[in-house]
Every structure is written in structure tokens, then in C-alpha cells.
Amino acid sequence: MPSFEEEKESSVYNPQEIEKRILEFWKKEKIFEKLRERNRGNKRFSFLDGPITANNPMGVHHAWGRTLKDLFQRFYAMLGYEERYQNGFDCHGLWVEVEVEKELGFKSKKDIEKFGIENFIEKCKERVAKFSEIQTRQSIRLGQWMDWNNSYYTMSENNIEAIWYFLKLCHKNGWLYESVKVMPWCPRCGTSLSQHELLDSYKEMAHPGVYLKCKIKGKNDEYLLVWTTTPWTLTSNIALAINPNFFYLKIKYNNEIYYIAEKLVSKLFKENEYEILKRLKGEELIGLEYESIYPYFTEQKDIKHKVIPWDMVSEEEGTGIVHIAPGCGEEDYELGMKYNLKAISPLDEFGVFKEGFDWLTGIYYKDGNKMIIEDLKRRGILLKIEDYSHRYPVCWRCKEELVFRLVEEWFIKMDEIRAKLIEETEKVNWYPEFGKKLMIDWLNNMKDWCISRKRYWGLPLPFYKCSCGNIEVIGSRKELEEKASSGLEKLKELHRPWIDEVKIKCSKCGKEIERIKEVGDCWLDAGIVAFSTLNYFSDHSYWEKWYPADMVCEMREQIKLWFFFLLLMSVVISGKAPYKNVVLYEKILDEKGNPMHKSLGNVIWLDDAFDKIGADVMRWLYVTHDPKDNLNFGFNIAKEIKRKLNIFYNVNNYVKTYIEVNNFDPKKERIYKMDNLHKWLFSKLENTKLNVENLLKNYDFFRAAKNIEDFILNDFSRWYIHIIREKVRESYRGEDKELVLHSLYTVQLELIKILAPFIPFLTEDMYQSLFKRFEELESVHLMLWPKIKEEMINDELEREMEIVKEIIEVANALKKERNIKNRWIIDKIIIYTNDALALKACKTFKEEIKILANAMNIEILRELRKGKEFSKGYVELGSVLREESLIREITRMVQEMRKRKGLKVGEKIVLHLSDVTLAPYKEEIAKGVNAIDVIFGRVDKEFGKIKFEDKEILFRFEKY
């Protein structure tokens, strides 16, 4: 007989058509609103959304996280939990500023100042409004249920005031300070960046690797060899560092004497090019004075340049002698502090050399690099130059190469709170588990947080600094209004430039003072949302109901970003972690495994993906992918996912067809006597439901989805339906027919319930097409999560069926080896085994084995004769029954043609066959193809040919 795939009605899953129709249905019938109303006042599931930056349309890389967030909210809604459903939009920072600058054709901060800060801020707000609306529409299209009229925006005054409260608390605790430090700096954006902003901002690039000679004072033609990839920093050289524990060589080369690390000499010189004069320990070089590289620069005057020890000097590259410029590198600065070295910062905020650098003043540092190299050549102190490829930090937003500058910034101390952060992290559950270790590693190594940015569109830092040394930190708008001495009438909102007009009186000396011009790191905005969005200040009892969050969910990279800042700000304010469970997932790459970038042209925009594959295909791709691995996303990969959903879709069509053909009423009360096949089916169903529920409660969405997929594909459609397909026909009159129809209906209904949070559109379509007419509720998403009937679970019966599956798999492999088609009928299947469970399985499922093997009989023998081996014994096959197999072939071909002609399962035909020798099998053929009559003889205008061994049979039919 034909397989399930061959027999089902011809129907192709069209996600775009289904999803459009279902979205309209949900909106019209207010299904989401009804769900919220049903669960109102119940136990709560608190989800806190990490805000998406409202800056561009979404790509498919955004949809993985949004799918998971929606999945768990839908799951807990089916369990009856009340939820908040609040989406978040991130609004401030370079994300938005740089895009607005591009729109306006701006090249630097000078263009913004010329345009006007107020005008620029308004443009930023317009961009946020535009793309938050677009992202809302896209999220709805994805099937994400949120209270879209109640999204939070991090630019809101509510959010700003909450951050001010946090900063005032840090100041009160003595954790807030201003300091001069060497910071990574973007010369295009004109601002410092923090440690966390450099995490994924390194790019492979080539720089000039310069080897130069630093002349030792008081020695003729003796030089320390130094290597650098940033020639511009030579202008600010103060010292040279060696490792006191390394061995160095004093060598003679071209009548000059050089000092270089022993292990690195061969990288710079050939063996026969130099003469070794002395081998010495690094400590012997400490204190040597050398001549300044640029003694006539104003900043270099009166400085003694010496060799100092540093254990961080390596023998991996360079010369083993490191050029130290404390004003141009973070490690250099720390070393300089230790030895009280002067820190020279040669560049202004735009990367241009300041006054005091002679012929370099006013020159952009990249141009300065070339000029410095030429100068070193001219002076004869350039030994060698090479292209050096390495990973170098760039601005995470504009991609400009960073420099390191000595700047004054504001910081929050980490050491004072580090232990408490680790303590709270230990209490949190992480999925996957390695997330906890990554967070603790970050907490152990996180430096003080630089919170200030010299920009415009951002949280205005509420710091008022007086010349008397006093610092006033404002904690709310109300406090600002109370303390304002002037400019309050210009305070349109808590943003620049309006807040810059407000001045207050210093509480120490009474002098009128103004706010510092800096804005805050945008992670302050996102880190405070556990308080600003939960009404911590306005309705504390509400906050207590929803805090901490039961779940947060973002990419793994957010461990050092949103998860960290959320944790930090929450522990400072409340003393405990803001979340109980953290769900992580990896990156989305393109189909070939390359990172997706707009510049590479391989980004897949979400709207394009909706048009080509639909939302549910994407959702199933996301949930069936292991979150520990990067996901390669592409439309070819999605074809396999769509094929699986097409099976889900057509299983439902199959059930629907035979419920309708047989006029079966699933709500009619009946008493069913379960046979072993159905005991196994319901045991597998209940086990699947149990596993899926437990896995989802443990946030293991991947294994939960795989459990469902395995049951549908392998247990239900390819196994159970294959076994019972004869029993659903209208002509079948067996006493177990109603049990089969009841089982099809019940299992499929339970399946779409547990599938509903994963693929909400397809499950709704399934429910509407079949189940709504029999069930009370108008939507599958208004149904409760199905209860587990543990009394129906029979693990031993399931183990027996696994043995049967293995036997059939081996039998099919034997058929393939012997060129016997699976649908052909054999006289018997022989199973040799001494295993007790295998013997029991063969007895329990004797009839099922015959059906699945297409065998007329089964023999179970204890003696172990050879056949094809399985884990419990051997399998052998009997002979092919030619006539019966030919009838099976005819049935398959005619059924296939019925589908092509658009006939429904219940519609009758008159079949014409050219082979009169088949007349004795008329009744069996008619039954197999749902024919009212079969006519044997000449066939004109045939529909097709049936080839079987040496036979060729023509056929055609007409609808009766």
C-alpha cells in the first residue's frame, strides 16, 4: 500500500498565506487580549526584555532571540501565568548618532556643532521613532506577542531619572570618581570607549612595523634596538623597557653596536651578518640612558630617557626592548605611574597633533606616521620597516581605527562591589551552563567602568563640578528643579542642549556651577531597566511583584554587556541579582559560515526572509538549533526546515481528511479497548509531553523542540500512520477503526498544543482547519498546556518498539541489497533471536512487523542462523510475491495520479487497466484506489504506464 506521504491529499504548505491570514484572525478576534485577560491575577512569570536598538530594520540575526523570548512567554501563558509582555527599545548612543551623521553627510563632531546640538538631537529622536515603529511591525510579523502599545524607551525621562538615582547612590558610596587615564579613543566620533566596547571590535589589518635605533648616551655608535607599530607614539617616548630575566646580546653589525633580545636576533639578522660581542642578562641594562628621539619637541625637554624593567616584555616579536609612551597606551601609563614617568598626550580629540610638536602640529596622526618614518630614515636611525599584520581595535560603531589618549573621564569603581556581584551570579541559573563561568571570569577581570562619553545624544550625566573641588550629583528631576539657580525655564526635556542651560549653586561655596558636558555610556540606559520599567520609584509594591525577572534571554556576547550592567546596577540598588534564569544563544552567520555584515552584502534582512520562507520556518530553524553553536542561516538551509513543517502540515491534513471522510465525532462518548500499538503510541505521546514540559521549564528549548520533531516525524507520521493507514479508509469496517480515528485526533490535538509556543501560525491554522469545530476555545493559543497522563507511560513497551524499529530498518537494508522495493510484498520475514526483550517485542508487535515489512507471515526462531545482524539477533527475508507486489505498484501509481488530478480521498473513480490477467484481483485493486469499478482491456489516451519487472501496464481513470 502507498506510504503516508504518497497517500495524503495533495497540499503544499504556504507559510506566507497562512501567516497573513492568522495575523488578521488574531487581530480581529483580539486573541492576545483574551489570553492576557484569562491569566490576569494568576501566578506570575516575569520576563525582562533586553532593549533592541531602534536604529535600523531588523535582520534575521535579531529574530533568533525574539523567537526564544516569545516561545517562553507563550509557554508560561499556556501554563496560566500572568505576564507583563513589555518590549524595550534602546535609543541613545553612537548606534543612532553615527547613522544620523551619515544621513546628514557629517564627517566629525565639528559638523554637529555647526548644525546645532538641538537640531541634531531632534534628528536622533526622529530616527528612533521611525525604526521603533518598523521593528514593532516586524516583530508582530514574526508572531511575537507583546504589549506593543506599552514598549519602554531608554530615552524616557523615567529611565534617565532612574539612572541619576543609581549614580547618586554610587557617589554616596564613594564609588564614583573622575580621573585622567589613557583610554581607547575614536578620533572620528571624538569620544572614549570602555573596556566592554572593545570586546568584539578587533580587526585584522596591516601597520608599518618600524625597527629604530635609540642611541645610548655617552657611547659611540651603541644603540638599543626598538620596535613599534605606532610611529606617531614615538613623539611621546619617555622610556625603554626590558625584561630583567631575559638574556640579551650585544652584537656588532655594519660597524655599529646593537642590543637585542637573544631569542629575537635571528628574526632581524642573518647568522653571518653580525658578531656577538657579549651575552648579558636584562637586569644589566637597567638604568642605561639614551638620547631622546625628538629632543626639540616642547614636551620632551628636560626629560631623562632611561631603560626600566618590565616583566610584561615578551620574546614573541620585536626586539625584546619596548618603547614606552605613558600618554599613548594603557599598560604604558600604568608602568609610568609606577616609575613616576611623564605622560605626554600628543593628539587632540580629532587625532591631530597638538601644539608643541613642531613640524607635526596640525597633522592627522596617520599622515604623521608616514612623515615620522621619513624623518627616521633621513636621520639614519631607521634600521628596518616591514608590513605587520595583526588584530587592532576599531570603533565598534564607525569602524575607525582607535588611538589611545590621555583624557579625563568619569568612572565607577569595581573592586568595592566585585565580590557581591560574583556572589549573586552564583545564584543564577545559566542555559547553557558555561554562561556562569564566563560571567564570573568577566567579573574577576572587569576594570573600573568608564561611564562618560564626549558626545551629544545620550543620558546627561548629572554631575555639577565646582572649582572649589565639590561635586554635586543630582538624583532626580525634582531635585534638579529644587536646586536650579538659573536656566530652568529652558528645560524642555532631560537631554542636551536644554539641560546644559540649567545651573545650580555649589552647596560648599555657593558659586553658580554648570553641568559637565559629557553624556553617559549607553549601557547605563539598558542596565537600569529592572527599575525604570518596573515602577521601582512610583509603585514599589508593583516592582516587588515582578522583581527579579524569572528569565532574560540574549546572545552570549551580552554576558559582558547587558547581563553584566543589569547585574551591576541591580546589585547596587537592591543588593541582589535582577534575574533568576539567563538563556543564551550564539551568533548567526551566513550560509557559508561567514559573519553577516552590511559591507559584505551578506546580511539577510528580516522582511526578505518573511517574503521568501515565512516566520514559522525561521522560528523552527532557531529552536531546533543547538544554542551552544553558531547558526549558519541561508535560504537553502531553510528548505529542509520547510520540508519538515510541510510534513507537520500534511499530518494535520491527513487526520482532517479521515475524520471528515468517516464522519467521525471525537466528542461522542465511547469506550476504547487499547491494543499494544495504541498503548505504545500514547505512552510515547505522554513521555514526549512530559519531556517537553520539563525541558522548557529548564529553558532547554533545543532538546524540547527536537523531542517534538522526533515524535512527529519518526513515531507518528512514518510509523503509526504507516501501520494504520488501511484502517482509516471509508471501506474499512474493523472494530478498531474508531480507536484509530480517536487516536489520530487526540494525538494531533495534543501535538499542536505543545507545538503552539514554537510555531504559533501553523498550529493556529491546524487548529482552525480541524479542531475548532469540535473544541470550545476559538484559538489554540487560548488552550492550556496539556496535562501529563503518567499512568499511560509504559517504558518497557517503548523499548520493545525500538527493537521492532531496528528489525524493520535491517529488513529494509536487506531489501535494498537484493533490489527488492520496500512496497513489494514478501512471503515472510524471519527473525532469529535469543534475547528475552526481543522475543517479547516480536510477539507483542507481530502484526505491526508484518505490516511494516510488507510480509505475509513472520517466523521467530531462537537458533541463531545467519542473516543480517541487528543488536539482538539476525533478520532474514522470504521470497517476493509477484502478483501481490504488482497490485501494490498499481495502487501506488494510481494514487499518485489521483493527487495530480486534484481528486480528494473520498471521491470515487472508474479505473481502466490494459492487463486482463489482473481481472482476478479486481476487488483488491478497486479497494486500494477507491474505484467504483475496474475495467480491463484496451486503454486509449492513457494517464501513465506501470512498469513491473518485464510487465508494462497502461492505465487511465475518470471521476465517477
Dist CA 807 CA 801 (whole Å): 10
418-472 tens-digit pLDDT: 999 999 999 999 999 999 999 999 999 999 999 999 999 999 999 999 999 999 9
128-175 tens-digit pLDDT: 999 999 999 999 999 999 999 999 999 999 999 999 999 999 999 999
Higher local confidence (pLDDT), 941 or 278? 278
The answer to whether 939 and 894 have CB atoms below 8 angstroms apart is no
Neighbours of 452 (CB within 10 A): 24
pLDDT confidence band for 199 (50 / 70 / 90): confident
Question: What is the mean pLDDT of the segment spanning 94-103?
Answer: 96
What is the sign of the dihedral through the CA atoms of 687, 689, 695 and 697? negative
Dist CA 792 CA 711 (whole Å): 16
Neighbours of 514 (CB within 10 A): 16
The answer to whether 243 and 309 have CB atoms below 8 angstroms apart is yes
Dist CA 700 CA 688 (whole Å): 14
Close Cβ partners of 443 (under 8 Å, ≥ 6 residues apart): 418, 421, 422, 425, 564
Give the model's pLDDT for residue 194: 86
Please report how many Cα atoms fall inside a 13 Å half-sphere around the Cα of residue 494, on the Cβ side: 25
DSSP collapsed to 3 states, 308-375 = EECCCCCCCCCCCEEEECCCCCHHHHHHHHHHCCCCCCCECCCCEECCCCHHHCCCEHHHHHHHHHHH
Give the model's pLDDT for residue 731: 82
pLDDT above 60 (res 932): yes
What are the helix (H) ranges across 666-794? 676-697, 701-710, 721-724, 737-755, 760-766
pLDDT confidence band for 200 (50 / 70 / 90): confident
Dist CA 576 CA 268 (whole Å): 56
Dist CA 931 CA 911 (whole Å): 6
SS3 call for 644 = helix
Give the model's pLDDT for residue 797: 98
pLDDT confidence band for 4 (50 / 70 / 90): very low
Strand-strand pairing, 931-936 and 944-948: unpaired
Give the model's pLDDT for residue 942: 77
DSSP collapsed to 3 states, 716-743 = HHHHHHHHHHHHHCCCCCCCCHHHHHHH
CA dihedral 938, 943, 947, 952 (to 10 degrees): 20
Q: DSSP state, 771? A: I
pLDDT confidence band for 866 (50 / 70 / 90): confident
pLDDT confidence band for 785 (50 / 70 / 90): very high
Nearest by Cα to 851 from 817, 822, 893, 894 = 822
Higher local confidence (pLDDT), 603 or 883? 603
pLDDT confidence band for 845 (50 / 70 / 90): very high
Neighbours of 812 (CB within 10 A): 16
Give the distance from CA 925 to its chain's centroid.
54
Higher local confidence (pLDDT), 541 or 195? 541
Give the model's pLDDT for residue 949: 80
- Which overall architecture, per CATH, does domain 4-9+629-787 show? Orthogonal Bundle (1.10)
pLDDT confidence band for 3 (50 / 70 / 90): very low
Dist CA 621 CA 623 (whole Å): 6
* C-alpha cell recorded at residue 391: 588584530
**Strand-pair partners of 225:** 213
Which of 21-25, 206-210, 500-504, 938-942 has the least mean pLDDT? Answer: 938-942
738-755 tens-digit pLDDT: 999 999 999 999 999 999
The answer to whether 128 and 96 have CB atoms below 8 angstroms apart is yes
- Which overall architecture, per CATH, does domain 202-393 show? Alpha-Beta Complex (3.90)
Percent of the chain at pLDDT above 90? 88
Q: What CATH code is assigned to 797-880?
A: 3.30.2320.20
The whole-chain average pLDDT of the chain stands at 95
Does an H or E element contain 420, and which? Answer: helix 415-426
Nearest by Cα to 926 from 950, 882, 960, 880 = 960
Give the model's pLDDT for residue 474: 98
pLDDT above 80 (res 94): yes
Q: Which DSSP string corresponds to 569-632?
A: HHHHHHSS-SBSEEEEE--EE-TTSPBP-GGGT---BHHHHHHHH-HHHHHHHHHTS-TTS-EE
Question: What is the mean pLDDT of the segment spanning 402-417?
Answer: 96
Residue 401 burial (C-beta neighbours within 10 Å; 0-12, 13-18, 19+) = middle
Dist CA 2 CA 353 (whole Å): 81
Dist CA 776 CA 48 (whole Å): 33
Nearest by Cα to 56 from 138, 162, 155, 142 = 138
The amino acid sitting at 143 is G
Give the distance from CA 301 to its chain's centroid.
54
**How big is the CA angle at 320 (ends 316 and 323), to the nearest 5 degrees?**
115
Strand-strand pairing, 552-555 and 581-585: parallel
Adjacency order of strands within the sheet including 191-192: 191-192, 176-186, 403-412, 449-450
Nearest by Cα to 215 from 192, 183, 187, 237 = 237
What is the sign of the dihedral through the CA atoms of 610, 615, 620 and 625? positive
pLDDT confidence band for 884 (50 / 70 / 90): confident
DSSP collapsed to 3 states, 103-144 = HHCCCCHHHHHHHCHHHHHHHHHHHHHHHHHHHHHHHHHHCC
The answer to whether 97 and 457 have CB atoms below 8 angstroms apart is yes
* C-alpha cell recorded at residue 195: 573596556
Percent of the chain at pLDDT above 70? 99
Dist CA 237 CA 212 (whole Å): 13
The amino acid sitting at 444 is N
Dist CA 515 CA 464 (whole Å): 4
Question: What is the mean pLDDT of the segment spanning 582-588?
Answer: 98
Write down the domain spans for the chain.
4-9+629-787, 202-393, 797-880, 886-959
Give the model's pLDDT for residue 1: 34
Neighbours of 442 (CB within 10 A): 19
Give the model's pLDDT for residue 198: 82
640-684 tens-digit pLDDT: 999 999 999 999 999 999 999 999 999 998 889 999 999 999 999
265-298 tens-digit pLDDT: 999 999 889 999 999 999 999 999 999 999 999 9
Q: Roughly how many angstroms between the first and final C-alpha of the chain, as a whole number?
A: 22
Distances in whole angstroms, Cα of residue 55 to Cα of each of 60, 128, 156, 322, 398? 15, 6, 16, 43, 14
The answer to whether 703 and 695 have CB atoms below 8 angstroms apart is yes
